[in-house]
């Protein structure tokens, strides 16, 4: 089975794109990263309010996912409002735990604990990017890729 | 008598141009709880969208986002009690306590449903646009903790949407079946104009029979 992680968006609680990581993206975006970040955030914001209204029961979980014919989008939000969005292929299992580990082991360690990393702006830290890449590439979903 | 795993909560149909033309609530769970409070209350209520909503102080099944439905058995609508008194003012007076308050999730009004149904259209389109893989469709399955939404877009652009229990399997088949019913009882109805809200009794009846059959005997018999 071939599994793939396509890309990852990190947004802060105000909707600013804090980080964009790409591993296997076959279709290049038609707009620049900043514009695309706004589009993705706007969509997720609407999607979340849509979910809350349409749900037959009370939602207590801060994650959801959707799938199309080609990919699966996984969303997880920390209690502080940092949003992680990871696109994977359809056969990948739920990556909610992976997103939580990224938050805990990479975001908190190399962004929150880094005093020269300003909050609410794009993360330019190379150490963060490197650690994130290492974690994603060591995850089961990435390593089980055969091609 | 009834297996909860087979629950299909609602069915929506969104037309090619994005308007909601049909909605049907089949098996909508009722969430309500009543509790006696003393003064001061350990809940914070706020008037939002003409409803008194719990904004802080989740406890005993009363969740944030639920609406105040009644005080001591008197219904509360639009933030007001039946005698016209402001509900928030009534609750700020310690002399009115202890009071028994009933909270619950409110059913959506038809207007709200129209709004949500139409809101799905751009979400579907953007999901296809931001796809990391070429030639992707829009959202086919949207999964949250409490429900699963399935969407079937036909070649003609009509979307069939069903909201059901997350454990329910084989929803694609059911949506195809509903599409079949639509083709049979809506499109063949000479009094039905395309893109207009669906008001066809035969369609309603057959849809109801289909959903009830699924609940009773499962998807394999459809």
pLDDT of residue B5: 60
Rounded to the nearest 5°, which phi and psi values hold at A73? -105, 130
Provide the shortest C-alpha distance from residue B188 to chain A (in Å): 30
Round to the nearest angstrom and report the end-to-end CA distance of chain A.
Answer: 10
Read off φ and ψ for residue B164, nearest 5 degrees: -145, 180
Q: How many residues are there in chain A?
A: 147
What is the C-alpha separation between A124 and A111, in angstroms, rounded?
10
Q: Does residue A55 carry a pLDDT above 90?
A: no
Instruction: Answer for the pair B137, A68: CB distance below 8 angstroms, yes or no.
Output: yes
Spatial neighbors of A41 by CB under 8 A, at least 6 apart, are A9, A11, A15, A17, A83
DSSP annotation of A84 reads: E
- The pair of three-digit structure tokens given for residue B194, joined into one six-digit string: 């395309």
Mean pLDDT of A43-57: 90
Res. A45: pLDDT tops 80? yes
- Closest CB to B132: pick one of A25, A51, A69: A25
Give the pLDDT confidence score for residue B1 in this predicted structure.
Answer: 36
Percent of chain B with pLDDT strictly greater than 90? 47
**pLDDT for residue A133:** 93
- The whole-number pLDDT of residue B109 equals 84
DSSP chain B: ---GGG-EEEEEEE-TTS-EEEEEE-SPPP-EEEEEE-SSPS-EEEEETTEEEEEE--BTTB-TT-EEEEETTEEEETTEETTS-BHHHHHH-GGG-SEEEEEEPPPPPHHHHHHHHHHHHHHHHHHHHT-SSSS--S-SEEE-SS-EEEEEE-TTS-EEEEEE-TT---HHHHHHHHHHHIIIIITT-TTPPTTSPP--HHHHHHHHHHHHHHHHH-GGG-
> What DSSP character marks residue A25?
-
Phi, psi (degrees; rounded to nearest 5) at A49: -70, -30
Q: Using 50, 70 and 90 to split pLDDT, how confident is the model at A147?
A: very low
Kind plus residue range of the DSSP H or E element containing A22: strand A17-22
Q: A66 at the B interface (CB within 8 A)?
A: yes
Q: Is residue A146 predicted with pLDDT exceeding 80?
A: no
Which two structure tokens, joined as six digits, stand for B187? 């499109």
pLDDT band at A141 (very low <50, low <70, confident <90, very high): confident
Q: If we measure between CA atoms, which residue out of B109, B107, B99 comes closest to residue B38? A: B99
Beta carbons of B133 and A6 less than 8 Å apart: yes
Please, what is the average pLDDT of chain A?
89
Structure tokens at A12: 């802060």
What pTM was estimated for this model as a whole? 0.87
pLDDT tens string B172-185: 999 999 999 999 99
SS3 A65: strand
Quote the CA–CA distance of A72 and A69 in Å, as a whole number.
9
Contact A56 B147 (CB under 8 A): yes
pLDDT of A5-36, one tens digit each? 899 999 999 999 999 999 888 888 788 888 99
Low-confidence spans in chain B with pLDDT less than 50: 1-3
Residue A85 belongs to what H/E stretch? strand A83-88
- Looking at domain A5-138, does it have CATH number 3.30.450.70? yes
Contact A68 B128 (CB under 8 A): yes
Phi, psi (deg, nearest 5) at residue A48: -70, -40
In angstroms, the CA B174 to CA B177 distance is 5
pLDDT(A117) > 60: yes
| Residue to substitute from A21, A40, A43, A58, interface B, most B β-carbons within 10 A | A58
Question: Which of the two residues, B51 and A147, has the higher pLDDT score?
Answer: B51
Q: Are A68 and B29 a contacting pair at CB < 8 A?
A: no
pLDDT of residue B204: 94
Q: Which residues of chain B approach chain A closer than 8 Å at the C-beta?
A: 9-10, 28-29, 31, 63, 65-66, 105, 108, 112, 116, 119-120, 122-123, 126-147, 149, 163
Position A1 scores a pLDDT of 61
* Number of C-beta neighbours around residue B98 at 10 A: 9
Token reading at A122: 């794009």
Nearest to B209 by CA among B188, B180, B189: B180
Contacts of A68 in chain B (CB under 8 A): 127-128, 131, 136-140
């Amino acid at each position: 089975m071939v599994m793939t992680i396509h890309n990852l968006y990190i947004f802060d609680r105000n909707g600013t794109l804090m980080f964009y990581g790409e591993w296997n993206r076959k279709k290049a975006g038609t707009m620049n990263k900043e514009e695309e970040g706004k589009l993705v955030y706007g969509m997720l914001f609407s999607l979340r309010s849509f979910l809350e209204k349409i749900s037959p029961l009370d939602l207590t979980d801060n994650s959801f996912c959707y799938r199309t014919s080609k990919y699966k989008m996984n969303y997880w939000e920390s209690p502080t409002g940092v949003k992680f969005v990871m696109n994977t292929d359809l056969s990948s299992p739920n990556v909610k735990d992976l997103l939580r580990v990224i938050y805990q082991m990479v975001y908190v360690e190399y962004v929150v604990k880094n005093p020269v990393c300003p909050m609410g702006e794009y993360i330019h830290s190379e150490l963060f990017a490197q650690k994130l890449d290492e974690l994603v590439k060591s995850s089961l979903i990435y390593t089980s890729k055969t091609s | 008598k009834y297996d909860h795993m087979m629950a299909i909560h609602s069915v929506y149909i969104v037309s090619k141009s994005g308007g909601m033309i049909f909605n049907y609530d089949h098996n909508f769970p009722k969430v309500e709880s009543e509790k006696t409070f003393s003064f001061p209350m350990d809940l914070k209520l706020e008037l939002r969208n003409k409803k008194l909503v719990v904004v802080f102080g989740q406890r005993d099944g009363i969740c944030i986002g639920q609406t105040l439905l009644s005080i001591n058995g008197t219904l509360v609508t639009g933030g007001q009690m039946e005698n016209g008194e402001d509900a928030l003012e009534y609750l700020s007076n310690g002399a009115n306590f202890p009071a028994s308050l009933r909270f619950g999730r409110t059913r959506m009004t038809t207007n709200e449903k129209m709004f949500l149904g139409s809101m799905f259209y751009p979400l579907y389109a953007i999901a296809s646009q931001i796809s990391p893989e070429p030639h992707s469709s829009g959202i086919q399955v949207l999964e949250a903790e409490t429900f699963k939404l399935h969407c079937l877009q036909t070649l003609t652009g009509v979307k069939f949407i069903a909201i059901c229990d997350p454990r329910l399997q084989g929803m694609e088949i059911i949506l195809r079946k509903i599409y079949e019913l639509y083709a049979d009882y809506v499109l063949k109805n000479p009094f039905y104009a395309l893109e207009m809200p669906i008001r066809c009794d035969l369609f309603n009846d057959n849809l109801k029979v289909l959903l009830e059959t699924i609940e009773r005997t499962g998807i394999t018999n459809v």
